[in-house]
Amino acid sequence: MLVLGALLLSIGASGHGLSSIVAPPDTLPPAIEVSAVLPTDIRAADDTIKKRRKAVELSDWYGRRLTIHRYVAYGTIPVFAAQWAAGERLYKDSRAAPTWAKTTHRVGATLLSGMFTVNTVTGLWNLWDSRTQPENRALRTVHALTMLVADGAFTYAGVKLSDEAENSADKRREHRTVALSAMGLTVASGMMMKIFNR
């Protein structure tokens, strides 16, 4: 309103015939600086230089490793299912379990060992390559840490507990608990990346 009044006053003063509309200068309120009326963030926008996002260049191999990482991760799901089915029979029957359960569990454990090795290498390598990329850094770090925990749990279940589980019901229960927990953590961590890493 004050700006409009000042504008009309200046038009009238310049001789355009509008001086009769404009109130005399002594009846106008004192001028108020626009910067005193506007919020601080609007005032600062005019004189603040916005930083451009830093370009991050990732190699072609980053994309290739990511593709391998994803396909191997998807491939673990049916292996988990087979391991669970065979493991349940071994848990209930121990040495009396059918041959298919023993063979499937042994082959599945070997497959998972190889798959987790591939995904640990490709995942950590890509985590290192993307270390300067701020977008989703916390998400990638949490994923890497949870998968390292799952790696450790599977290693413990396979190396330490598998032999002991054949002779002890307590160790069989512990082996099952650790393995299923590692599977759950792996699936949860993978789903987190699938949903939030856009």
- Of 32-36, 57-61, 120-124, least confident by mean pLDDT is 32-36
Domain for residue 48, yes or no? no
CB-based contact 172:91 (threshold 8 Å): yes
Domain for residue 51, yes or no? no
DSSP state of 130: T
pLDDT at 138: 95
Residue 99 and residue 16 share a domain: no
Higher-pLDDT residue of 49, 130: 130
Q: Is 118 helix (H, G, I), strand (E, B) or coil?
A: helix
Residue 13 and residue 103 share a domain: no
Domain for residue 18, yes or no? yes
CB burial of 163-191 (b: ≥16 within 10 Å; e: otherwise) equals eebeeeeebbebbbebbbebbebbeebbe
Residue 12 and residue 80 share a domain: no
Residue 107 and residue 190 share a domain: yes
Instruction: Determine the Cα–Cα distance for residues 55 and 58; give it in Å rounded to an integer.
Output: 10
Domain boundaries, position 151: 60-196
Instruction: Determine the Cα–Cα distance for residues 135 and 32; give it in Å rounded to an integer.
Output: 44
Higher-pLDDT residue of 150, 26: 150
Residue 158 and residue 66 share a domain: yes
Domain for residue 180, yes or no? yes
Residue 16 and residue 114 share a domain: no
Residue 163 and residue 82 share a domain: yes
Domain for residue 46, yes or no? no
Residue 122 and residue 66 share a domain: yes
Domain for residue 53, yes or no? no
Domain for residue 54, yes or no? no
Query: In which band, very low, low, confident or very high, does the pLDDT at 74 lie, cut at 50, 70 and 90?
Result: very high
Model confidence over 129-188: pLDDT tens digits?
A: 999 999 999 999 999 999 999 999 999 999 999 889 888 889 999 999 999 999 999 999
Copy the structure tokens of residue 131. 């270390």
- Of 43-47, 53-57, 136-140, least confident by mean pLDDT is 43-47
Alpha carbon 69 to chain centroid distance? 15
Residue 68 and residue 36 share a domain: no
Copy the structure tokens of residue 105. 């569990």
- Span 27-47, average pLDDT: 56
The size of the chain, in residues, is 198
Is the per-residue pLDDT at 18 higher than 50? no
Residue 6 and residue 70 share a domain: no
Residue 66 and residue 34 share a domain: no
**Domains of the chain: total:** 2
Higher-pLDDT residue of 39, 95: 95
- Span 79-88, average pLDDT: 96
The CB-side HSE value for 7 (13 A sphere, CA atoms) comes to 4
Instruction: Determine the Cα–Cα distance for residues 127 and 148; give it in Å rounded to an integer.
Output: 13
CB-based contact 79:108 (threshold 8 Å): yes
Instruction: Determine the Cα–Cα distance for residues 75 and 69; give it in Å rounded to an integer.
Output: 10
Domain for residue 52, yes or no? no
